[in-house]
């Protein structure tokens, strides 16, 4: 089996041999208010998440203010939006970043971001971001991947909509330009994504195909896909987070609230712990219960020299006597000594 090279983000080891790394994606759920963004960071940290991720762009680094048909969204969650209008509503201003990074450090949680252009990557480098995320829609932006990789930090790349060839180009670009570790996240880039299109089996294939840590960036309802990805070997889970879906906003409808996110964290980490190893030996927690297995007992008093029959010996609980498999071999033999009612049979009692 191909060895998967683990890596670290802010001292936390990430790979299939470690508990899943859970990322709370804040995205646009601050609804344009810095105070809300800081509140989200505190709330996300309280769920037990390992990291918080934000997005670093401006409307003008994403697109141009144009109302032509190419720039108008048709259908889906953001139907009717002009692209520039959507990003203006959703973006996290550059001037907020220092306070958000400081808040995360204050509450003891790792924070990093998705840069969408070189100016964003430069801002994050100045804030000493410990890792970088590449969004699914940017996986084909090889110049951006090259620029980010040159920082020498770990890179987490979402692969939504990308084919194997495009993923290969992204991985090769990151590797050849100095990325300090690479992870690929399977992602269905729909908002929300139907659970039946989650295709979580892809998580394990990504890791094996490209020799990297793999995981899931999930937009499906609930946390079932996240838990499934952990069971299948995913080492990273990313999920959108909000204080309350009732607050609204571009991403609220497919985000988890604090109680739901804590359950996701607990369930994913418990699922990983439950995997354990292939084992057929007695578990420590089972040892005391071996007494409740079945074994052969005298169910009537038996005098020395009397034959053992189906009437005076039986297979019952507890398990201190001979194993049940020996019953056919002892029926018809005689007692070597007096055997008391309720006595566990041993070979020494049988002639």
pLDDT tens digit string along 255-267? 999 999 999 999 9
Q: What is the DSSP letter of 283?
A: P
Residues with Cβ within 8 Å of residue 13, at least 6 apart in sequence: 6, 7
Q: What is the DSSP letter of 33?
A: -
pLDDT digits (tens, 9 = 90+) for 174-195: 999 999 999 999 999 999 999 9
Domains of the chain: 11-58+93-275 (3.20.20.70), 284-349 (3.90.1210.10)
Tens-digit pLDDT profile for residues 75-116: 888 899 999 999 999 999 999 999 999 999 999 999 999 999
Q: What CA–CA distance (Å, rounded) separates 214 from 27?
A: 21
Q: What does the alpha-carbon distance between residue 96 and residue 305 come to, in Å, rounded to a whole number? A: 92
Judged against a pLDDT cut of 60, whether residue 285 lies above it is answered with yes
Alpha helices, H only, 185-335: 202-210, 224-231, 258-275, 327-330
Query: Within a 10 A sphere around the Cβ of 17, how many other Cβ atoms?
Result: 10
**Cα–Cα distance between 218 and 241 in angstroms, integer?**
11
Reference 47, options 207, 234, 241, 235; nearest CA is 241
Mean pLDDT across the chain: 96
Distance, in Å, from the CA atom of 23 to the CA atom of 51, rounded to the nearest integer, reads: 5
Q: 167: which 2 tokens?
A: 């993923």
Asked if 30 contacts 36 with a C-beta cutoff of 8 angstroms, the reply is: yes
Pairing, β 132-134 against β 155-158: parallel
Contact 14, 236 (CB under 8 A): yes
Residue 306 CA: distances (Å) to CA of 228, 328, 334 = 60, 17, 5
Nearest Cα to 4, choosing from 165, 199, 207, 244?
Answer: 207
Token output for 319: 């398990």
**224: helix, strand or coil:** helix
pLDDT at position 316 is 98
Structure-token match 């994050």, residue found: 124
Evaluate whether 71 touches 95 at the Cβ level (below 8 Å): no
Distance CA 133, CA 126 (A): 16
Q: What is the mean pLDDT of residues 16-27?
A: 97
Q: Which residues contact 25 (CB under 8 A, 6 or more apart)?
A: 53, 217, 238, 239, 240, 241, 255
- Mean pLDDT calculated for residue range 223-242: 97
In this predicted structure, the answer to whether residue 137 has a pLDDT above a threshold of 90 is yes
């Amino acid at each position: 089996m191909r060895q998967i090279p683990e890596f670290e983000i802010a001292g936390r080891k990430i790979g299939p041999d470690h508990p899943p790394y859970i990322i709370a994606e804040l995205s646009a759920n601050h609804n344009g208010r810095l105070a809300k963004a800081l509140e989200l960071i505190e709330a996300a940290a309280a769920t037990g998440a390992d990291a918080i991720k934000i997005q670093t762009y401006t409307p003008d680094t994403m697109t141009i203010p144009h109302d032509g048909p190419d720039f108008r969204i048709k259908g889906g969650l953001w139907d009717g939006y002009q692209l520039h209008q959507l990003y203006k509503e959703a973006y996290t201003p550059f001037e907020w970043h220092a306070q958000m990074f400081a808040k995360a450090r204050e509450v003891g949680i790792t924070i990093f971001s998705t840069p969408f252009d070189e100016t964003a990557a430069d801002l994050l480098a100045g804030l000493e971001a410990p890792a970088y995320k590449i969004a699914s829609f940017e996986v084909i932006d090889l110049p951006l991947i090259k620029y980010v990789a040159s920082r020498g930090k770990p890179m987490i790349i979402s692969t939504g909509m990308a084919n194997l060839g495009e993923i290969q180009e992204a991985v090769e670009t990151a590797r050849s330009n100095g990325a300090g570790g690479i992870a690929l996240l399977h992602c269905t880039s729909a908002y929300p994504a139907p659970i039946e299109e989650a295709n979580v089996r892809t998580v394990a294939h990504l890791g094996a195909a490209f020799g990297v840590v793999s995981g899931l960036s999930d937009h499906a309802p609930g946390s079932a896909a996240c838990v499934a990805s952990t069971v299948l070997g995913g080492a990273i889970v990313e999920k959108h987070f909000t204080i309350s879906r009732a607050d609204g906003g571009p991403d609220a409808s497919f985000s988890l609230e604090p109680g739901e996110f804590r359950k996701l964290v607990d369930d994913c980490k418990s699922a990983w712990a439950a995997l354990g190893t292939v084992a057929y030996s007695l578990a420590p927690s089972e040892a005391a219960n071996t007494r409740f297995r079945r074994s052969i007992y005298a169910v009537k008093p038996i005098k020395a020299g009397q034959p053992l029959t189906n009437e005076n010996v039986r297979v019952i609980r507890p398990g201190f006597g001979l194993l049940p498999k020996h019953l056919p071999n002892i029926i018809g033999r005689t007692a070597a000594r007096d055997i008391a009612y309720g006595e566990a049979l041993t070979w020494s009692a049988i002639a």
